[in-house]
Amino acid sequence: MHLRAGQRLRRNADFGSVRERGRRLDCGAFLLTWATRPGSEPTAVSRVGVVASRASVGNAVHRNRAKRRLRAIYRKHQALVPPGLDLVLTARAALLRLEFAEVEQRFTAACLKLAPPTA
């Protein structure tokens, strides 16, 4: 199952906005950055963007694998993310060295630390 267009960050401006005004949480294998969407309703669907750079993850095969893993984990546990948040998941090289279950556990622990959107 794919993420719908309304569930993804698609524009560079959206990624930049989350990085600029958002909060960060270092999860070792990935960096989780989140921000509330300005002007969004408290019941708005959360959106996610996944980033994997050549410098931090490696060649195209490794980058694509890292992004697939992060998207799969997000899809499985998206109910843990408070509504109205924009997330940027930035992959690191350690993501490919860890077991999938370990990365999944780190994501769920990070989701419990996410601040609910403020009105």
Q: What is the pLDDT of residues 53-108, one digit of tens each?
A: 999 999 999 999 999 999 999 999 988 988 888 999 999 999 999 999 999 999 99
Residues written for the chain: 119
- In the prediction, which pLDDT does 42 show? 65
Phi, psi dihedral angles at 90 (to 5 degrees)? -110, 115
Q: What residue ranges define each of the domains in the chain, with the CATH number in brackets?
A: 5-111 (3.30.230.10)
- In the prediction, which pLDDT does 117 show? 47
Q: Tell which residue, 46, 44, 22, 47, has the closest CA to residue 34.
A: 22
Under the banding of pLDDT at 50, 70 and 90, the label for residue 40 is low
Task: Determine the Cα angle at 22 with ends 34 and 42, to 5°.
Answer: 60
pLDDT above 80 for 43:
no
